[in-house]
Structures are given as structure tokens and as C-alpha cells.
């Protein structure tokens, strides 16, 4: 059974940084693409970033490009999302998700989800 556990969320002032972690309990983690999504109150879940299996190519939403960085540590079955220059509009619950193969930007194309971690950015 695949489980994903996110951590690292919290309250930060605008302009600050946070690093989210997502640990996956899955056999052969390197076969999976990992995506980060977020959902703000009253809004739909949106794509943030993704990395291909084995820590390959990455993709970012335009709203976070240049500020967020996704990376993997295959030895630890962990994916990180480094978030810099945070803005109040980044406030949301952040979820990591797993799919076998290559990344997609649609949430419906991911098979496994974590419970989410809250990120709040104050102005």
C-alpha cells in the first residue's frame, strides 16, 4: 500500500521561505513521477510543480516559476519543494501526489495522495 506523508508547512511572512517534504512508502520510488499541488479555500486544486521519475525533468506552474524548486532524494524516497519569496497568494494546503511513469499537470492523473500540509503566508 502506497502512503505519502508531507511535512514542513507553517506560517511565514511574505518574502520568506519554507521547504516541504514528501516521503513515499513505495517500492521502487524511482519509477514514479511526483507532483505538488495546492488548494486554497474556495478554489480548485491546482498544479504547482512536478518531477519525472528518477529525479528527471521538472515542470512548474507559471505562478511559482523562479521561486519554487522541486527536487528528489531517491535514496530516501523523498521529494522536496523549496519555496522562496513566498507571497500571500501562495497560502494553501499543499499536497504531494504520485503516479507511475511520467509527470502530468492534472490532479486527476495522479493515483496516490498525501494528507496535505498547510502553508500560510502573512502580508
pLDDT in tens, 47-96: 999 999 877 899 999 999 999 999 999 899 999 999 999 999 999 999 99
In angstroms, the CA 78 to CA 71 distance is: 9
Beta-carbon count within 10 A of 38 CB: 23
Residue 89 main-chain phi, psi, to 5 deg? -70, -5
What pLDDT digit, counting tens, does each position of 22-59 carry?
A: 999 998 898 999 999 999 999 999 999 999 987 789 99
Enter the C-alpha cell of residue 24: 513515499
Amino acid at each position: 500500500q502506497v502512503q505519502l506523508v508531507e511535512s514542513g508547512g507553517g506560517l511565514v511572512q511574505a518574502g520568506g521561505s519554507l521547504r516541504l517534504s514528501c516521503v513515499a512508502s513505495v517500492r521502487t520510488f524511482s519509477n514514479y513521477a511526483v507532483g505538488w499541488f495546492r488548494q486554497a479555500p474556495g478554489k480548485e486544486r491546482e498544479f504547482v510543480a512536478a518531477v519525472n521519475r528518477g529525479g528527471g525533468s521538472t515542470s512548474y506552474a507559471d505562478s511559482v516559476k523562479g521561486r519554487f524548486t522541486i527536487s528528489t532524494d531517491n535514496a530516501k524516497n523523498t521529494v522536496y519543494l523549496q519555496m522562496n519569496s513566498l507571497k500571500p497568494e501562495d497560502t494553501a494546503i499543499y499536497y504531494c501526489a504520485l503516479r507511475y511513469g511520467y509527470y502530468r499537470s492534472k490532479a486527476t492523473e495522479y493515483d496516490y495522495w498525501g494528507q496535505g500540509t498547510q502553508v500560510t503566508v502573512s502580508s
